[in-house]
Amino acid sequence: MKEKEDCFLKVKKDYLRFLKKEEILGKSKAAKIESLKKIYIPMSFWIEKKYRKKGKTLFLGLSGGQGSGKTTVTGILKIILKKFFKREIQVSSIDDFYKTLKDRNLMSYKIHTLFKTRGVPGTHDINLLKKFFYNLKKISLTKFKSPKFDKSTDDRFKKGYWNNIKKKPEIVILEGWCVGAKPQSKALIKKPINILEKYEDKNSLWRQYVNERLKREYKSLFAKIDHFIFIKIPNFKMVFKWRLLQEKKLRKKSHSNKKIMNYKEIKRFIMFYQRITLQMIKDLSKSASVVMFLKKNHEIKKIVFR
């Protein structure tokens, strides 16, 4: 108990500063403090325990619906694990491993037009991701660069802007909406679940291809992860609401309004993610090592450790 109190005192200031920077508004200071004490500190102690038990680089996958707060959660965990436990942390997003716009245009021409839109399994560069894992697992890590994706231009940054990884991390968190997603049965794939699938993927070619990727490359990739942390959204309607907020933030940060989506575009965009998001709610709610249950106001209702 005393150790957790020490942790709280050590990280409190950095945690509140981070929330302010991230523009996490609407929550009272008391509610933020309670989240730190009841959610993030216990999670960090759980991660530290898993790392000590493994005794070498621990790989964590963190997923949840779009706009559920994955980046915020990983940011907070990084503060605690670094500041209190003195761990070397590497947080990466699967979004940074999207294929280039040129490659996705080629996919849309060769396989299906819907592959022009980033997001679904098949639009990530799996070889880059595997290389990333391979480099991090090396006993003597020599510095390397990991890719960075610019959502405002919908393309990968040039290599000069990539992230430099100079030190071997003790804990790696790979966050992303589809991290840990599992494939569906053929019967489920055939039945469209929204108007995008019904009218733009009439023969189910696009979703079959996505499902195959989950069965093969993504399955072997996710097998490299030791534990999964899942942020469970209350329902899919919230994805639209939260994604809208995300785009507003992106618009503020971006110097140009290039490729930042409006209301109508977001409505269509989230349809690409709907099938896998709903399946993940079913699967990962049961199989993830840690499940964070979100309320409609974006607050964490409870956390379950398995």
Q: What is the per-residue pLDDT across 265-286, written as a single tens digit (0 to 9) for each? A: 888 989 999 999 999 999 999 9
Whole-number average pLDDT of the chain: 92
pLDDT in tens, 85-141: 999 999 999 999 999 999 999 999 999 999 999 999 999 999 999 999 999 988 677
267: number of Cβ within 10 Å: 14
Band the pLDDT of 33: cuts 50, 70, 90.
very high
Contact 79, 98 (CB under 8 A): no
Question: Which residue in 70, 129, 43 sits closest to 280, CA to CA?
Answer: 70
Tell whether 109 is covered by a domain.
Answer: yes
Judge whether 123 and 217 are in contact, CB under 8 Å: no
In a domain? residue 229: yes
Q: Could you tell me which residues are beta bridge partners of residue 58?
A: 171
pLDDT digits (tens, 9 = 90+) for 282-291: 999 999 999 9
Helix, strand or coil for residue 303? Answer: strand
Q: DSSP string covering 11-40, please?
A: HHHHHHHHHHHTT--SS-HHHHHHHIIIII
16 domain-assigned: no
Q: Is residue 46 one of the residues assigned to a domain?
A: no
Report yes or no on 215 lying in a domain.
yes
Average pLDDT over residues 66-80: 94
Taking the C-alpha atoms of residue 129 and residue 91, their distance in angstroms, rounded to an integer, is 13
Q: What token pair was written down for 182?
A: 């599992």
The verdict on residue 38 lying in a domain is no
The pLDDT assigned to 198 comes to 97
In a domain, 45, yes or no: no
* Segment 139-154 mean pLDDT: 86
306 pLDDT exceeds 90? no
Q: What tokens appear for 14 in the block?
A: 């950095």
What's the rounded Cα separation, in Å, for the pair 106 and 301? 43
Residue 198, SS3 per DSSP: helix
Of residues 47 and 29, more confidently modeled: 47
For range 195-203, the mean pLDDT? 97
CATH classification of the domain holding 71: 3.40.50.300
Residue whose entry in the numeric block shows the structure tokens 């956390």? 303
pLDDT higher than 70, residue 26: no
**pTM score of the predicted model:** 0.93
Cβ-in-10-Å burial (0-12, 13-18, 19+) of 184 comes to: buried
User: Number of structural domains, the chain?
Assistant: 1
| Radius of gyration of the chain measured on its C-alpha atoms | 19
Longest dimension (CA), the chain: 60
Domain encompassing residue 159: 56-305
Nearest to 125 by CA among 156, 157, 91: 156
In a domain, 275, yes or no: yes
Confidence of residue 260 (pLDDT cuts 50, 70, 90): confident
pLDDT tens digits, 200-210: 999 999 999 99
Alpha-carbon span 10 to 13, nearest angstrom: 8
Segment among 29-38, 150-159, 182-191, 255-264 with least mean pLDDT: 255-264
pLDDT level of residue 255 (50, 70, 90 thresholds): low
Reported as type and span, the H/E element at residue 174 is strand 171-175
Which of 31, 18, 21 is closest to 77 using CA atoms? 18
Torsion of CA 266, 271, 274, 275, to 10 degrees: -160
Nearest to 248 by CA among 23, 33, 56: 23
